[in-house]
Each structure stands twice: as structure tokens, then as C-alpha cells.
């Protein structure tokens, strides 16, 4: 899926396979987002070959692919990599500490529990949104602190915490309320005659 950054430049996902040679030949991968004009249908427009790293080893790019057909498409076996299998019970969520727009977070994190989006205000009262991970036990509190017009919720599907038009997909825990018996206590300004 193509996205736009703050400068309205269209970004696409990419994966880059490179080899390092510091005594052993090792293949490594970089993944992320790049401007669309850095990609072409035949591969990279600007290949990096013979790049020197800080440790004096030579890195050589052997593959570079871009994709935009869906979110995080660069984790699905491009450049000879294996598709990423997430650990059981985890999901990928957007992760931005104080975004100015709830729909403009482009960083991701692997979460053990649920994704969340919480609306807050900065020091001068402007609305901000925190995208990230939350324990499912915190989701009831997040949902209850969601007055009309405030975008705060939890969800448990991949990359679900960037859309303020959806409702929480995490059901709040059910609670049982038990009423204590009511005890009436009479208060007298003066002692009744029958007690004296």
C-alpha cells in the first residue's frame, strides 16, 4: 500500500538484500519505506554497490525490490527472503508516540497483545494521538475514556490502530455488581422522650 509522508511524497515498501564481507560472506536485509521515484519495475534506480560501512567492511547490494500492493508487503518473501511468521498471540501495530494526525503514523512495532490508539493533548492543549501496544486489560479503560468526538480505542488485527472511524474490537471485560444492603440511620436533633 502506498502512503504519503509529511511532505506529500508517495512512499512504497522496499526490501534490500545485501552481502557483507568481513571475513565471511553474510546476507542481510533492510526493509522500510522509500519514495516511489527510487523504485522502478526493473529494480532499483540507484543501486548501492560497494558501500563502505563504519567498520571498514564492504557491503554490496544484491537485490532491491519495491511493492505497494498491501500493507507491509515487503515481509512476504521478496529478494529470496522467507515470509515473516509472527509469534502466536502477537500482531503488528502502528507505533507513534505523539502524532499530529491519527491517520498519519507510518512506524510499526510487534505487539504481544493488542494495538491501541489514544487521543491526548500536548502541553499547549492541541490534540495528539499515541499509536502503540496495550495489554488487553487496559483496553476497557481506554474505551471508557473515549467521550464523544475523542478517538481512543483498542483493536486486535494487523495494523488496525490508525483509523479513527472504527470502533474497538476488544470487548470490555464483563463485571458483576453486587449491591450492599442499605442501612438507614436516624439522626435526631434532640433525644426522643421515650429514650430518656
**143-179 per-position pLDDT tens digit:** 776 665 578 889 988 899 987 765 555 654 444 444 4
DSSP string, 51-115: EE-TTS-EEEEEEEEEE-SSTTGGGBSGGGPPBP-PPTT-EEEE-EEEESSTT----EEEESSEE
Locate all alpha helices (DSSP H) within 17-64, ordered by sequence: none
Residues 6+ apart with CB under 8 A from 147: none
Burial class (CB in 10 A: 0-12, 13-18, 19+), 75: buried
CB 94 within 8 A of CB 107: yes
pLDDT at 138 (0 to 100): 87
- Where do the domains of the chain lie? 3-80, 91-155
Residue pair 101/164 in contact (Cβ under 8 Å)? The answer is no
pLDDT at 43: 45
| pLDDT for res 188 | 42
Quick one: pLDDT at residue 55? Answer: 54
Amino acid 151: pLDDT: 82
pLDDT of residue 52: 46
- Residue (of 82, 129, 80, 81) closest to 101 by Cα position: 129
What pLDDT is recorded for position 94?
A: 93
pLDDT of the residue at 171: 52
Phi, psi of 142 (to 5 degrees): -65, -45
For the chain, the residue count is 196
- What stretches in the chain show pLDDT beneath 70? 1-8, 22-23, 40-58, 145-149, 165-196
d(CA 158, CA 134): 14
Q: What is the pLDDT at residue 131?
A: 94
What does the alpha-carbon distance between residue 187 and residue 139 come to, in Å, rounded to a whole number? Answer: 44
DSSP 164: T
Q: What is the pLDDT of residue 33?
A: 84
Query: Quick one: pLDDT at residue 29?
Result: 85
Amino acid at each position: 500500500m502506498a502512503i504519503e509522508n509529511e511532505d506529500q511524497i508517495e512512499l512504497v515498501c522496499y526490501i534490500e538484500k545485501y552481502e557483507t564481507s568481513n571475513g565471511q560472506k553474510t546476507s542481510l536485509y533492510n526493509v522500510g519505506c522509500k519514495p516511489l521515484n527510487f523504485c522502478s519495475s526493473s529494480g532499483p534506480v540507484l543501486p548501492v554497490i560497494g558501500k563502505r560501512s563504519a567498520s571498514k567492511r564492504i557491503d554490496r547490494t544484491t537485490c532491491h525490490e519495491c511493492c505497494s500492493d498491501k500493507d507491509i508487503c515487503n515481509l512476504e518473501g521478496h529478494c529470496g527472503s522467507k515470509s515473516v511468521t509472527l509469534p502466536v498471540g502477537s500482531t503488528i501495530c502502528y507505533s507513534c508516540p505523539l502524532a499530529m494526525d491519527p491517520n498519519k503514523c507510518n512506524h510499526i512495532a510487534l505487539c504481544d497483545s493488542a494495538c491501541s490508539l489514544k487521543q491526548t493533548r500536548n502541553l499547549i492543549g492541541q490534540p495528539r494521538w499515541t499509536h502503540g501496544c496495550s495489554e488487553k486489560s487496559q483496553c476497557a479503560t481506554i474505551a471508557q475514556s473515549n467521550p464523544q468526538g475523542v478517538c481512543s480505542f483498542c483493536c486486535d488485527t494487523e495494523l488496525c490502530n490508525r483509523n479513527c472511524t472504527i470502533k474497538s474490537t476488544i470487548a470490555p471485560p464483563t463485571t458483576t455488581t453486587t449491591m450492599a444492603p442499605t442501612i438507614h440511620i436516624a439522626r435526631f436533633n434532640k433525644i426522643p422522650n421515650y429514650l430518656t
